Structure 1
Amino acid sequence: MCADPLIVVLIGPGGVGKGTVARRLLELDERLWLSRSWTTREPRPTEDGTEYFFVKREVFEDAIARDFFYEWAEFHGNLYGTPRPAPPEGRDVLLEIEVQGASQVRERDPKALIILLTAPTMALLEARLRGRGDTEEHIARRLESTRREVERGRQLADVVVVNDDIERASGEIVSILEGLRQSRRNPS
């Protein structure tokens, strides 16, 4: 068995279902451990505080100064970051992060598996964003940046998964992870 944990990075534009797919992956694959990110943004009405550690900007900036984060990025005026992962023994790390942060992960760990999650269509993505309770201004900004995020994500990603169905997309990712773990156990 490989001693180093596999770093699995789930990226994609807002509203694509990263959080939902990440939660489903944790249910389907007991070897995955989610490294919970920090953010300075306000919680959405649908969030109960388990998705992120919500902190004040000063606290986040202090953590940056102390080199606390594995990756961090500013996105639409808010800071997002992932503390250096420390998974339990035998577990692989799942990071649900922004495309900007994935660039830092790639630099730190070229062997990390970066998965770009996309929506089947832009219209569906817009509908998902509207269903999250975001403001019209926020939705407009997100849609504007989505094309750039997907383009950059395609450059970084090892795999692109279309999230047209949570079960299908999650199952595809679990199959990819199983294959990768098998090749790490039995390198040719």
Structure 2
Amino acid sequence: MQGSGPTASPLLIVLSGPGGSGKSTLARLLVEQDDRLWLSRSWTTRSRRAGELDDAYCFVDPARFDAAVEADEFLEWAEFGSDRYGTPHPAPPPGCDILLEIDVQGARQVRRRHPEALLLFLEAPSDRDQAHRLRGRGDSEDHVRTRLSYGASERETARELGAVVVVNADLAETVAAMGRIIADHRERLAAAGSPSGPSAAPPYPGRASGGGGSGAAR
């Protein structure tokens, strides 16, 4: 999948990052400011968190999730602890690019199927910030420790996949930085005639910053 204009096939954008990095908030704001972005709704077997929006995920039981896996209904799926998450094969509106908010396990699967996808990796400024955000959304201390320990391997996987890394220190600046990265990628594809494959990946530096200050919880 790649996109250079309203008649091109859609660009596939993957937003990954550790729990508490702010992915959900960032994804929502990116879609609000860019009418060419369509956010794919993921499935999960976990319970809805207190205060979580009804459309945050499609909440299903394990049996329904297993049936979807067997029927190859997912572009990618991954497991974290006892919970599973999956992305149905996307069907965006005409003229829209696709934004996936998934973890790095899913990003690896998407890269394998769609090497031309733009991979973005969001991280909190520090483990302390990440832990604060996780607790703020109601995660247990055991879950916070698990998420923090998993973060190092997630960052390593993101580097292996060649993802563009952005530090979510200030939410407004992070949204602006991500928006610029996506816009620049579209322009590069348009100028190059929308090539597909790994050579289509833009030569961005491996790390960018969203500025100083305090970011929002996921």
What TM-score range do you get, normalising by the shorter chain?
over 0.9
Query: Counterpart of 1:15?
Result: 20
User: Which runs of at least 4 in structure 1 moved beyond 4 Å after TM superposition?
Assistant: none
Matches within 5 A, 1:52-67: 52-67=57-72
* Rounded Cα–Cα distance in structure 1 between residues aligned with 2:90 and 2:53: 23
Work out which of the residue numbers 101, 108, 111 in structure 2 matches 1:103.
Answer: 108
Query: Counterpart of 1:186?
Result: 191
Q: How far is 1:110 from its partner?
A: 0.2
User: Cα deviations across residues 8-60 of structure 1 (Å, max 9, x unaligned)?
Assistant: 00000000000010011011111000000000011111212211000000000
Query: Counterpart of 1:175?
Result: 180
**Structure 2: runs of 5+ lacking an equivalent:** 194-218
Q: Percent identity, aligned pairs only?
A: 49
The residue identity in structure 2 corresponding to 1:13 is P
TM-score normalised by length of structure 1: 0.96
Query: Counterpart of 2:43?
Result: 38
Query: Counterpart of 1:94?
Result: 99
Tell whether 2:116 aligns with 1:116. no
**Structure 1: runs of 5+ lacking an equivalent:** none
Q: How far is 1:166 from its partner?
A: 1.1
* Rounded Cα–Cα distance in structure 2 between residues aligned with 1:119 and 1:44: 21
Secondary structure of the residue that 2:58 maps to in structure 1? strand
Let me know the Cα RMSD of the aligned residues: 1.2
Contact kept, 8 Å, 1:116 with 1:157, in 2: the verdict is no
* Rounded Cα–Cα distance in structure 2 between residues aligned with 1:21 and 1:157: 20
* Rounded Cα–Cα distance in structure 1 between residues aligned with 2:156 and 2:51: 29
TM-score normalised by length of structure 2: 0.83
Contact kept, 8 Å, 1:116 with 1:154, in 2: the verdict is no
Q: How far is 1:5 from its partner?
A: 0.5
Secondary structure of the residue that 1:58 maps to in structure 2? helix
Query: Counterpart of 2:139?
Result: 134
How many equivalent residue pairs? 188
Q: How far is 1:136 from its partner?
A: 1.5
Q: How far is 1:87 from its partner?
A: 0.5
User: Cα deviations across residues 139-183 of structure 1 (Å, max 9, x unaligned)?
Assistant: 121112111112212222431111011111111111111111112
Secondary structure of the residue that 2:24 maps to in structure 1? helix
* Rounded Cα–Cα distance in structure 1 between residues aligned with 2:139 and 2:105: 21
Secondary structure of the residue that 2:144 maps to in structure 1? helix
Q: How far is 1:95 from its partner?
A: 0.1
